[in-house]
Chains A and B, each alone.
Chain A
Amino acid sequence: MDVELAKPFVKAAMDVIGTMAFITPRPSKPFVKKNSIATGDVTGLVGLTGDGKRGSVSISFSKQCAVAMVKNMLGDDIQDIVSDVKDAVGEITNMISGQARAGLSEKGLVFQGSTPTVIMGDNHSISHMAKSPIMAIPFETDEGGFTIEFCFE
């Protein structure tokens, strides 16, 4: 039931990024990949456990999109762009994870989420821990794209 698990995250991402960063994401066609590598410039990653499953969800932003979010959230109050981006992506990932898990718990699917880890670096790659195929949902925004990836086993 990967699709059932993925749907709340997609909805939460759209809600959270729309509300907090005033950016409207438009989902594109989801796909699966066989490798377990997520690539992006800034990635927020949370591990999930519960319902006999474990997995991870990552949200990888392009640099442009991450910076636009921070500017929208903090206005002119940016102190240090690097640490502010890191902070904002962590916070947004945490909110998305929280909101999605709340939705899942209404269906009796109770997951514990780890504290988000944020990875930064131009075109970096990270590994998901599962062996099953990874489902990825790309989003477009006026400020560049981001991709949510899931894997559960």
Chain B
Amino acid sequence: MSKLDGFHDKDFLEQVTILNEIASSRDSSTLNGLMDLFENPTGDTGVDYMVVNTLNAVLGANEDAVIQGLHSQNLAFRTLCIRTAGEYTFPDAAEPLAEMAEDETDTDRLAEILAALAKIHPANGASIFRAFLGHDDPMIASLAMEMAGAYADSQAVIFLKAAVEATDATHSYDQCDITTWKAIDALATMATPEAIAFLAANVHHKNPTARRIITDALVRVGEPAIAHLESHYGQGDVDQRILACNIIGFIGSRKGADGLVQGFDKGYFTEPNVRYAAFEALGRIGTLKGLVCLVDGLMETDELILMAVVTGLERHAAPGILKTISDRIAEGGERSSRIAHAVIASRALRLFQELYKDETVGTALLVELKKSQDPEILSDFATRLEEIGTDRSKADAASLPKPKTATRKALAADDSKSMLALYRSILTDMGIEPLMAVNGQEAYAYVEAGEFADVVITDMNMPVMDGMELVGKLRGSLGYEDVPILMVTTESEGSQREMASKTGVTAFLTKPFKPADLKAKLIEMLGG
């Protein structure tokens, strides 16, 4: 007598108990009875749902029945068998599934078949998935691409490359085809020299979302990507060199730092914005060679580059290096005050505390600190001076100017710490209260909290919410319809600017810039 005899007449609890028992014993003699229940449901959704799960469990212990079921005329049962074959990775199901995939016209079922095959991962799978790389349904094409990556299918590379190049940026800046996304990821998973070289060559993809995905993919690839990225130093355009530096900084490997130092030695980083990116990357990695190069960076005259250098040194400063910085400031003259100003404007508190120990250097730093109009900078350094706790430091803390109250506000969004520090210093200098954010979302949170800004400064490429989307949202927000928006960007491509103008940007400024340029621009935008 079968456990399932008279199942329909039993009450709910008994039915559930029986199904639970079968599901745990996975007794194959119940298969026919369960099939019968599957075809003639009880009508109680809960019980019928359990029947499916129980059948799935019993089928999981009966590979033959599953393979047979793949040819069942009952479509629901066939689908269940396809799923079970995938879930339990039945190797013998691969062949019939591959045959089914060839003939299947229903895209939902085709997706099921391919998903099951993906889990079984048969040795000859690469060619099966390759056939679907150009499928009309983007979901199916994406699945095929994922698997091309998993199989490191060299014959698929040509399709993947085409899919990466296919995305069209003109419609929408923040959208990218899922096939482009999957193709990038598949190439990164393969991580063959050819695949990495292709991704590296496309760091400045015309679609910003694709660009971001390529950046993330190359960071994931890590060290093997470095040599390919470094080839941009000598040959790439400005954007490619900047992006190569950024990615190498994020990879954070010593090898990358060595390459950056060589790039400086060979004179590849001539443009100020490339130098800025290269120093920022070196600051992220922080090898000894890199730090020596950063110390050389103290000779830079551009305020922004100097702040990238100081931010990097703040992160890694070792005693030997502190001594050199200290000597440079102690020398006196224009360069000394520039460095001292960068230490203050970048809020390099750790560096400050060490440098302050020398009285001459401490005095030079204080001179710059007293020039600052920024209430937060003044209060941060005052606190630090109090913490140092000597009579000299306490007296210095007391001598700091009291911040003036600002009447105007500016909202500034940038994912670079040194850029934000620079904005803060310039804005407070102009008597404008800065509202700082590391991405568009944080910036927009100020607006949602009811803050009003007289002017907005934003970067273009930022994580979470980029500048373009922020501008779009601001233009749709009450009170921000006509507020001047300045986009500060390293992008030199005209097409990106055009897109930004359409979104509602008032004016542009290319990174890096002289503080005077930004001031002039702000004065112009604020109408004096």
Chain A contacts to B: CB under 8 angstroms: 1, 3-4, 6-7, 11, 29-37, 102, 105-108, 123, 125, 127, 133, 135-136
Contacts and interface: CB of A to CB of B under 8 A. Distances in A.
Most chain B C-beta atoms within 10 Å of own C-beta, residue among A11, A30, A36? A30
B188 to A, nearest CB: 13
B86 interface: yes
Interface in B42-101: 49, 52-53, 56, 80, 83-84, 86-88
A6 B182 CA distance: 14
Nearest 4 A-B pairs (CB), nearest first? Answer: A108-B87, A31-B175, A34-B212, A32-B181
Contacts of B208: 34
B49 A32 contact: no
Contacts of B56: 106
Given A31-B177, A106-B87, 4 more contacts: A32-B178, A32-B181, A106-B84, A107-B86
Nearest to B212: A34
B115 A37 contact: no
B476 interface: yes
A102 to B, nearest CB: 6
Contacts of B465: 35-37
B111 interface: yes
Contacts of A136: 175
Nearest to B177: A31
B473 interface: yes
B177 A29 contact: yes
B414 interface: no
Chain B interface, DSSP helix/strand/loop, else mixed = helix
B146 interface: yes
Interface in B165-181: 174-178, 180-181
Interface stretch (B8-16, B136-144, B496-504, B513-521): B136-144
18 contacts: A4-B111, A6-B139, A7-B115, A29-B177, A30-B178, A31-B178, A32-B176, A32-B181, A33-B174, A33-B209, A34-B174, A34-B213, A34-B466, A35-B441, A35-B466, A107-B87, A133-B209, A136-B175
A32 B118 CA distance: 22
A29 B139 CA distance: 9
Nearest to B444: A125
Contacts of A29: 138, 177
A127 B213 CA distance: 19
A31 B213 CA distance: 13
A7 to B, nearest CB: 5
A139 to B, nearest CB: 14
